Every structure is written in C-alpha cells, then in structure tokens.
Amino acid sequence: MGVLYRVRQFTLALGAQAAHRRVEDLAHHLDTGQQTLFRQMPSVDQHHCLAVFRSVREAGHSDPPLLQAALIHDAGKSLGPVGIRHRVLAILAKALFPSWWENTHSEPGSRLYAFHVYRNHAPLGAELAARAGCSPEVVWLVAHHEDDQREGQATGKRGRMLAALQAADRIN
C-alpha cells in the first residue's frame, strides 16, 4: 500500500463516526449476534467496514456471505487496544522491520499486545465470527481477507468473493 493511501486512511480514521443513520443495513444483513460483533468494534473500524460494505455493493455484489464479511472483517481488532498510534507504528514496523514484525509475539496485557492483535486480526476475527454464528463462508472470508492474493488468482465462488472483499478493502 502506498503512502498516499495510508495518509488518506489515517485522515478518514481521525474523523470516523459510524452514526446510526449510516448503519441502516445492519439489521437486514446481520443477525443479533453478528450486529453485536459489529457494534463492539471501535468506531473507526465500524466506519471502515461500512465503507467496504458499500463498495462491495456498488461493485454489483449481493452474496449474503460477502456482505456480512464486509461488515465484520476487522472485528478481530476489537480484542486489543488497537488505537491510531498502534496502527501507524504497525505499518512502519511492517515496512521497515519485517522480520521483527513477523516474529514478535506477546501476551494479553503486554505493551506489544496491540501489535499482536493488529497483525493477527484476521484469524482472531474469524474466531469471533464463528462464535457469533456466522456461516463457514463468512468465517473463511474474515480469516483470509488479509492473505496475499495476486490479481486473477481467485478461483471458485470463495475466491471470487475474497477478491471482491480485498478489492473493496484496498480502496477504503
């Protein structure tokens, strides 16, 4: 991801508020447990997930698992105190010190735990999605939304949904 993209994302995050009027589609696409999962995310992540959801729909996709995954794909970040400073430092650490980034482990309560959550938010979010009663397709999409995938690599329905989710995530 380019620097301009990250600057734009940071600027959007500073003013992000997922007001109730912007959450109009939750009841139509998420059941009560899944809505709770969405509402547990910080407002910056709610805002981002709503933007991804809108982009997926604007691209013409209507598969319920894809729409649900768009709304909760970053739910794993709610497990740690992943604030703006953690996000900025994580992006810098990943770019400047990739070996350290990939090999640093931490326990809940440690100073580095927010980075552990940020780095592992996809599998952590998948666990939360499974506990919230999401379908196996939604759980899989959440688990894999951060996977490296080259253009044209998506095969099958899951692959196409993942490609759509990742494309929407990249632009938001």
Structure token pair of residue 74: 């970053």
Q: What is the rounded distance in angstroms from the CA atom of residue 85 to the CA atom of residue 140? A: 29
User: What CATH number has the domain spanning 3-171?
Assistant: 1.10.3210
| pLDDT number for residue 122 | 97
Q: Please report, for residues 11, 24, 137, 164, the alpha-carbon distance to residue 15 in angstroms, rounded to integers and kept in the order given.
A: 7, 20, 32, 26
pLDDT in tens, the chain (172 residues): 555 555 555 555 554 444 444 556 688 899 999 999 999 999 999 999 999 999 999 999 999 999 999 999 999 999 987 888 888 888 898 899 998 888 877 888 888 898 999 999 999 999 999 999 999 999 999 999 999 876 556 679 999 999 999 999 999 9
Q: pTM for the full model?
A: 0.83
| pLDDT number for residue 94 | 87
Taking the domains of the chain in order of start, what are their residue ranges? 3-171
| pLDDT number for residue 149 | 74
- Quote the Cα angle for 57-41-125, to 5°: 80
DSSP 98-160: HHHHHH----TTSTTHHHHHHHTHHHHHHHHHHHTT--HHHHHHHHHTTS---TT---HHHHH
